[in-house]
Amino acid sequence: MRIVVFDPDASACARLAAPLRVAGHELILTSDEGAAISALSVGPADAGLLRAEDGAFNVAKRLRGVSSGRSVHLLLVASQVTDALLLKGYEAGFDAELRLPCSDAVLVARMAALARSLGRPLGGVQKASGAAQGKPDTPLERVAFSQTWRGAASAIQAAAAKFLSLPASVEAAPPSGTFAFGAEILLASGQSELELRVALAVDAPTARALAVHLFGNEGASLEADMLSELSNIFMGTLKSAFNAESFAFASGLPQAVPPDTVLRPAVPFAHQEVFTLRLNDARVAVHLGVRAKGNMPITVAGLREGMVLVKDLYNARGMLLLNGGTRLSATMVERLKGALLPTFSVEISAI
Amino acid sequence: MIERLKKRALFVSPHRDRLESFRRRAGEGLAPWTLEVATDAHAAIARVAAHGADAVIADEAYATAQGSLLFSHMQRDFPSTACLLLGAGAASNGFAHPTISPDSDPSLITMMLERACALRAVLSNPRLQRLVGALDRLPALPRTYTTLTQALAVPEPSLVDVVEIIETDPALCAKVLQLVNSALFGLMRKTSSIKQAVSYIGFETLKGLVLTATVLNALVTAPPRAISLDRFQLYSLRVARLARRFARESSFVDEVFTAALVHDVGKLVLAMRDPDAFANIDAHRLETQKSVVETERELFGVGHGDVGAYLLGAWGLPFGVVESTAFHDRPSELAPGPCPIIAMVHAADALTDIVACQEPPSRLDTAFLERAGVIERLPTWRALVEEEVLTWDT
């Protein structure tokens, strides 16, 4: 299933999501109300785990107000469950509660039961269309349901271990902390109109250590090159695997990118995975994303700098805010978030 | 007070005793006024031409053919003169000119005089005349709307007659159906029949839709870039429905609905007159932190409320609608007196702006709403708006 986890405490958010990621669910983690509404309503998600705070009730109420959010299963996550809290939750639009503490086994089993009741695959990415259960019917869904996608983290782990000659493991939650370097590589599949992204981010000590490991002492300042090389290796691994499944992704070049865009790309992906690649003591944040080329509708809450508007954008009154073709700056994004409802749909260019 | 500084009012009636009755009733309130009399429309027009007048008060006998002659002359030749009707009906009964009941409280009589003059002063702004005159053509009176209004004024309007009126204008038919089939009305099944559409939404809402459609047809020769007409119309309808909910228990609910429907029509004129300046209003406001009214006056010399009121006044819409359009976004500038229509239109408009367009709370003039006697209803109205906006996803 696609599950959105909302908790103002980012580390609590990651802790809750970790066992579900291992179980094969697609997780979207956020501490931002607007981003939660966007993630739940666009797609849409199958379920939401929302920590019982004021923001969660606002998210539920707004989500139930839009047509795409009415069927999302919402669970109110709380450690102290009272009648008043339950009443507030149900009135806001929650379907059930999840009491903490909850063991990983119980949480995974609970989500599996929910998946069964919703008719979803027990793990892995849900299909986006109304086709028969478990039978993807678009190229995007075939990628998302493929063994390559499901095993991507393991493939990357193996490629890293081989290339770097270091023991490697995968952790479900993304690393915390401040990243200093980022790199990404994009591949496009012309035939099936898909785009695949592999992006990595590391902090400064990790970058230096890996650069030295790869290039020797004189390579201590080649952190960006190291990261680009890593992303290239990982993408090559995936490309070969996907090509074997008849998705002929063309080659792309790795490039350095601002590290904060690695886990928050400018354009949203229909399916994505975020995890930590552990190399000895070093931790590398990895983002995998796949999306269809073409325009995508997203909510105002999900707007990011760098996105390009497809059409003229008007406010609720009908007054022109921005022209079509405008690439959004950070200032423009803030202005739009201040002028439009968070659930307002905006069409943006995927590429 | 020195005579020449007094305002001049001309009372038109074939019955001199009515003037005396009016003067006695109004009492001290008429002290700032010099009251003169004319016994027929021709004499009244000649007197105004010779000596001028701030206001012409016509006896209810003139709410017919001679009245039309008198009022149309006033509007054309003496646009700065306010025209009022002294009649036994309610103060707001759909007449284009404000009406005063002879049994009204004396203070109300003078308030209405002052209010009529204040509106006339607003609409006599030469900049307005230049702005509207600069359009390719002066918008024509929406004939279908007036015909429909007449058909609906009878005690039991005929659905057949109403449908026939609409169907004489295919473009209007298409527009009405488009609006009825939109998300606003939430029809389970789309309709292509005007008869079905009217049966579903009712006569008063239909009248409002026709007004909106004919106004747009009259004003817009080419779609203005800076406004999405569909979204503009939808928003106006949404605000009108909210205003109608606010006014549900009142006797002027239909006038509130109409006033809210057309309150922003002046924006269309500004957008067509100078599209670049209009498109810059938002950016200018962001920079200067000024209100919409202040920014429009800076860029155009007038506000959209004035422009809309000018047009609606020229089209002969009721005084309450015209006054509401002129002052809906600056109600504190309104002269004292009862103002329930403006209060509800302002509240619906401002609250929707605050909730749906994230405008600051200062957009709502709470001091005015307190003066209007509706401040205690604000929390209920706010809740209604929030509930309504939650259902929007466009």
Q: Can you give the pLDDT at residue B379? A: 94
Nearest-by-CA chain B residue for A70: B391
CA angle B383, B389, B392 (to 5 degrees): 160
Q: Does B227 touch chain A (CB under 8 A)?
A: yes
Q: What does the pLDDT look like over B76-128, one tens digit per residue?
A: 788 788 888 887 653 444 456 777 777 777 777 888 888 888 888 888 888 88
Mark which residues 16-55 of B lie under 8 Å from A by CB: none
**Once rounded to an integer, what is the mean pLDDT over residues B269-282?**
84
Q: What does the pLDDT look like over B203-251, one tens digit per residue?
A: 878 888 888 777 777 777 677 778 888 888 888 988 998 999 999 888 8
Q: Can you give the pLDDT at residue A134? A: 45
pLDDT band with cut points at 50, 70 and 90 for residue B67: low
Nearest CA distance, B279 vs chain A (angstrom): 7
Say whether the ipTM exceeds 0.95. Answer: no
The tokens of B111 are what?
């308030």
Cα dihedral A212, A216, A222, A228 in deg (nearest 10): -80
**Once rounded to an integer, what is the mean pLDDT over residues B59-69?**
67
d(CA B52, CA B91): 26
Nearest one of A64, A90, A313 to B390, comparing CA atoms: A64
Nearest one of B200, B131, B198, B208 to B161, comparing CA atoms: B198
Beta carbons of B390 and A340 less than 8 Å apart: no
Q: Can you give the pLDDT at residue B3? A: 46
Its pTM stands at: 0.62
The minimal CB distance from A319 to the residues B233, B282, B358 is found for B282
Q: What does the pLDDT look like over A122-169, one tens digit per residue?
A: 544 443 333 334 455 677 878 887 888 888 888 999 999 998 889 998
Nearest CA distance, A339 vs chain B (angstrom): 5
Q: Does A67 touch chain B (CB under 8 A)?
A: yes
Rounded (to 5) percent helix, strand, coil in chain B: 65, 5, 30
Nearest-by-CA chain B residue for A313: B228
Q: Can you give the pLDDT at residue B140? A: 57
Q: Which residues of A touch B274 (CB under 8 A)?
A: none
d(CA A139, CA A291): 10
Contact A186, A197 (CB under 8 A): yes
Cis peptide before B98 (omega within 30 of 0): no
d(CA B377, CA B247): 11
The minimal CB distance from A339 to the residues B267, B281, B357 is found for B357
Q: Which residues of B touch A316 (CB under 8 A)?
A: 231, 235, 356-357, 392
DSSP annotation of A217: G
Q: Can you give the pLDDT at residue B366? A: 94
d(CA A169, CA A154): 8
Q: Does A10 touch chain B (CB under 8 A)?
A: no
The minimal CB distance from B391 to the residues A65, A315, A317 is found for A65
Q: What does the pLDDT look like over A311-335, one tens digit per residue?
A: 889 888 888 888 888 889 998 998 8
Q: What are phi and psi of B212, to 5 degrees?
A: -60, -45
The minimal CB distance from A318 to the residues B227, B281, B393 is found for B227
pLDDT band with cut points at 50, 70 and 90 for residue B2: very low
Q: Does B388 touch chain A (CB under 8 A)?
A: no
Q: Name residues of chain A where pLDDT drops below 70.
A: 10, 42-44, 67-68, 121-137, 173-175, 190-192, 350-351
Higher pLDDT, B316 or B394: B316
Cβ neighbours of residue A76 closer than 8 Å, sequence gap 6 or more: A50, A52, A56, A85, A86, A89, A94, A96, A97, A98
The minimal CB distance from B393 to the residues A67, A312, A318 is found for A67
Interface test with B, best of A319, A323, A341 (most B CBs within 10 A): A319
pLDDT band with cut points at 50, 70 and 90 for residue B316: confident
Nearest-by-CA chain A residue for B231: A318
User: Is residue B98 exposed (0-12), middle (13-18) or buried (19+ Cβ within 10 Å)?
Assistant: buried
